[in-house]
Amino acid sequence: MKRIFMEKLLPRFLEYVSIDTQSDPYSKSTPSTEKQWNLAKKLVLELHQIGMQDVSIDENAYIMATLPSNIDKKVPVIGFISHIDTTPDFIGKNVRPKIIKDYDGEDIMLNNAKNIILSPSYFEELGEYKGQTLITTDGTTLLGADDKAGIAEIITAMEYLIQHPEIKHGKIRIAFTPDEEIGRGAHKFDVEKFGAEWAYTMDGSQVGELEFENFNAASAKISIEGKSVHPGYAKNKMVNAIGIANEFLSLLPIREVPEHTSDREGFFHVHKIKGGIENAEIELIIRDHDKEHFQARKELLKDITDKLIKKYGDTILLKIEDQYKNMREKVEPVFHIVEIAKEAMESLGIEPIIKPIRGGTDGSQLSFMGLPCPNIFAGGHNFHGKYEYVPLESMEKATQVIVKICELTAIQIK
């Protein structure tokens, strides 16, 4: 099984990353960039070629396909999902991957001219991949393992199941979505059409990752109105919006920020402040895994606003907008979907790494749209930048996990 996967995964992956699919948060259309069609159309052809059924692509470039059941028994329909776009945060065109066979565990020179080195002394986990085949960038672009590794794995697993009918499975649905990196991958996902009882996004990082918890997320904007008066004659007259903004920030818990938190600790993250005497504006985001703590954070912003309004009058406006929610509440009632993935990994000798995501995934939105959707590793590291890489062996393991989950679902679930 091993060699077949390697031989199929590598050319697929290299082909996908050669196509620029960067998404664009400023675009209003779906997909947000025309170029995502280039990969989408290729994938549709390929799905037909490997023998998938009901291959469809809609007007928003959402691709779906079916691997029909090969057993009589009725078992749940499950799904696998990955995304075709790459992040707008870094250069995504002219990706020229380097393939390092039998990695020696030393520094990797990505780009001689620019002296860009991928080093295990900085990225310690590289050491674990000694002897493996690494796919890296040439130091000038991202790689796109996020999430083209996931696409290559899903297609390779489906092809393997088609070619090995002795492996029994129920009906499997797969989907590839546009615009995940700009937070819209789930927006136009037709959950009903997909028709799966649950699914997995293949969009995690290192081997073993299995995630079903993510942040609750909201954004907040605080607008402050001041009153400008000649500073020499301003006593009891001037209201300085900058001063009020400063006071607002000073009332936030100083240690509860991204740079001082990890694991399940939530935070406030002030990411923008601008202003003068007449107007000031603070933009921040709130993140917390715990629903009550999340609520308390929102309350704190309201309390601070009220307090400052009492002091300075009606000059402060707080606007909070919810962004996404922790999928845990949707996954826990159907926890067998996590157990199956865990068991699939363990039976392949992979130690599951279950930890809360310090962010969101499309899976969290999908979970609240009625498709519970934990996230599984796709194998890559250092997403969204020039140090991105993926070990081929990790992609192979992810492919095995997909096959195994299909198998176990047919055996275990009645």
Residue 147 falls in the annotated catalytic set: no
Nearer to Zn ion, 146 or 197 (CB): 146
In the block, residue with structure tokens 């998404």 = 23
Do the annotations mark residue 203 as ligand-binding?
yes
Nearer to Zn ion, 304 or 401 (CB): 401
Do the annotations mark residue 181 as ligand-binding?
yes
Quick one: which H or E segment has residue 37?
A: helix 36-50
- Token couple for 235: 């006593």
- Token couple for 113: 């001219």
Nearer to Zn ion, 146 or 179 (CB): 146
Number of residues located near Zn ion, criterion CB under 5 A: 3
In 3D space, the residue among 72, 82, 312 whose CA is nearest the CA of residue 178 turns out to be 82
- What is 102-126 written as a DSSP string? T--SS-EEEETTTTEEE-TTTSGGG
Catalytic site residue from 20, 147, 180, 211: 180
Which residues, 187 to 206, sit near Zn ion by CB under 5 A? 203
- Token couple for 366: 């999908």
Distance CA 55, CA 173 (A): 10
| Phi/psi at 327 (5° precision) | -70, -10
Nearer to Zn ion, 184 or 297 (CB): 184
Interaction between residue 153 and Zn ion (CB under 5 A): no
Give the contact letters, 120-149, x = binds to Zn ion (CB under 5 A), - = no.
--------------------------xx--
Tell me the chain's radius of gyration from C-alpha atoms.
24
Do the annotations mark residue 164 as ligand-binding?
no
Catalytic site residue from 24, 46, 85, 153: 85
Q: How far is the CB of 142 from Zn ion (least distance, A)?
A: 11
How far from chain centre, in Å, is Cα 236?
51
CB atoms within 10 A of CB 122: 11
Nearer to Zn ion, 146 or 159 (CB): 146
Distance CA 132, CA 104 (A): 8
Nearer to Zn ion, 177 or 409 (CB): 177
Residue 46 falls in the annotated catalytic set: no
In 3D space, the residue among 364, 271, 273 whose CA is nearest the CA of residue 325 turns out to be 364
- What is 47-113 written as a DSSP string? HHHHT-EEEEE-TT--EEEEE---SSS----EEEEEE--B-TTS--SS---EEETT--SS-EEEETT
Helix extents (H) in 278-335:
291-312, 328-331
| Phi/psi at 369 (5° precision) | -90, 5
Nearer to Zn ion, 138 or 146 (CB): 146
Do the annotations mark residue 20 as ligand-binding?
no
| Interacting residues of 358 by C-beta distance below 8 A, sequence separation 6+ | 215, 262, 287
Distance CA 356, CA 364 (A): 12
Q: Residues annotated as binding site for Zn(2+)?
A: 83, 146, 181, 203, 384
Q: Residues annotated as binding site?
A: 83, 146, 181, 203, 384
The residues of the shown chain that bind Zn ion, judged by CB under 5 A, are 146-147, 203
- Write out the catalytic residue numbers: 85, 180
